[in-house]
Amino acid sequence: MLNYQDLIEQGKQAGFTHVAPLKVSTIQLMSEVRDMCATNSCGAYGKKWSCPPGCGDLDTCRERIQQYTAGILVQTVGNLEDEMDYESMAETNEKHKENYLRFYEQLRKQFPNMLALGTGGCTQCKTCTYPDAPCRFPDKMISSMEAYGMLVSQVCQDNNLPYYYGKCTLAYTGCFLLE
């Protein structure tokens, strides 16, 4: 049984603004979210093992997720000067990545078989081997929640964690499936 209070405290010490329990049974994988990935607005579609189609189809992702019963959601929330404050957006994104990787390394010691789903594609390697060779570090690869077909705002809502914190705020959200 997970000690959520301890995990929440560890997450906050890692630098996250918010940490909340995640019931895996609430996760819904949606083809519409994967369709958004296919538009390739981030430039990673079909170029990384962590992104579609490299991370597997929705059935494959569903099978991986169903191995777990519980986890935690983590967020880094940033404040923007205005809705076009790209500098603060980038700073918040970088802070979230740092928090996420710090907590990831900490949790791996406690939960070596966890499934980490963050924001954006995996950044373990400068250049991914996809599709020409196997992933160099499959045990360290981190896919995004969206790559797995999750609508992040819905996952947050279904687990009583706000996704929107008001005008001129931005929340980066990831999760760790632990059991």
Q: What is the pLDDT of residues 84-120, one digit of tens each?
A: 999 999 999 999 999 999 999 999 999 999 999 999 8
Question: How does pLDDT run across 75-88, given as a tens digit for each residue?
Answer: 999 999 999 999 99
* Residue 116 β-bridge partners: 176
Pairing of strands 70-79, 143-144: unpaired
Question: How does pLDDT run across 14-40, given as a tens digit for each residue?
Answer: 999 999 999 999 999 999 999 998 888
How is the beta sheet containing 143-144 ordered, strand by strand?
A: 18-23, 70-79, 169-177, 115-118, 143-144
d(CA 125, CA 136): 8
* Residue 77 β-bridge partners: 171
- Single pTM value for the model: 0.93
- With a pLDDT cut of 90, the percent of the chain lying above it is 85
What angle separates helix 4-13 from helix 86-110, to the nearest 10 degrees? Answer: 130
Residue type at 4 in one-letter notation? Y
- Neighbouring CB atoms inside 10 A of 26's CB total 13
* Residue 19 β-bridge partners: 74
> By the 8 A CB rule, do 171 and 75 touch?
yes
> By the 8 A CB rule, do 150 and 117 touch?
yes
- Neighbouring CB atoms inside 10 A of 63's CB total 11
